[in-house]
Amino acid sequence: MEPVGPHVELTLKIESADGYLHAIFSGPVSRSRAFDLYKEMCAEAVARGFQKVLMDWSAVTGELSNRERYSFATDGAQYQRQNQMSLKIALLGKEPIVTGLGVAVSQNRGRDVEFFSDYQRAVAWLHKPRSK
């Protein structure tokens, strides 16, 4: 029996921008795939010499449970800490896919991250000097 329709999963497109890495996520979200791509995004930022990342979830569909959001954020903070990364990340997206819960959890773990629903505000925040 042939599968119906193509197999679609969350994808990541990475672009160098003016002083930051633009990581464009698109497609249906799954916690495990999103975390794999998050690690790829972080590694690519470091490899390209960027300390600032626009993590763009504008084209992501679906929803994560609060438990998945929490574990993603704690695992992400731990991944950066273990790999001695200090990235400033602007998370761009809209509800229901992005709610800000993961950002709050990450901030509580010492990560420099903010949530935005407006592209221009996200980029402006990335260009501001770090407050820490």
Residue 1 has pLDDT above 50, yes or no: no
DSSP state of 113: E
Strand pairing partners for 25? 12
What is the share, in percent, of the chain residues with pLDDT greater than 70? 93
Q: How confident is the model at residue 3 (pLDDT cuts 50, 70, 90)?
A: very low
Residue 2 has pLDDT above 60, yes or no: no
Strand pairing partners for 11? 26
For residue 5, tell me if it sits in a domain: no
Mean pLDDT confidence for 40-58: 97
Q: What is the CATH number of the domain that holds 90?
A: 3.30.750.24
Provide the domain count of the chain.
1
Mean pLDDT confidence for 58-63: 95
For residue 3, tell me if it sits in a domain: no
Q: How confident is the model at residue 130 (pLDDT cuts 50, 70, 90)?
A: confident
For residue 2, tell me if it sits in a domain: no
Q: What are the tens digits of pLDDT across the range 89-123?
A: 999 999 888 888 999 999 999 999 999 999 999 99
Side chain identity at residue 131, one-letter code:
S
The range of the structural domain enclosing residue 29 comes to 11-127
For residue 4, tell me if it sits in a domain: no
Which pTM does this prediction carry? 0.91
Side chain identity at residue 44, one-letter code:
E
Cα–Cα distance for residue pair 66/73, rounded to 1 Å:
11
Please report the pLDDT score of residue 7 as a whole number.
63
90 contacts 123 by C-beta, under 8 angstroms: yes
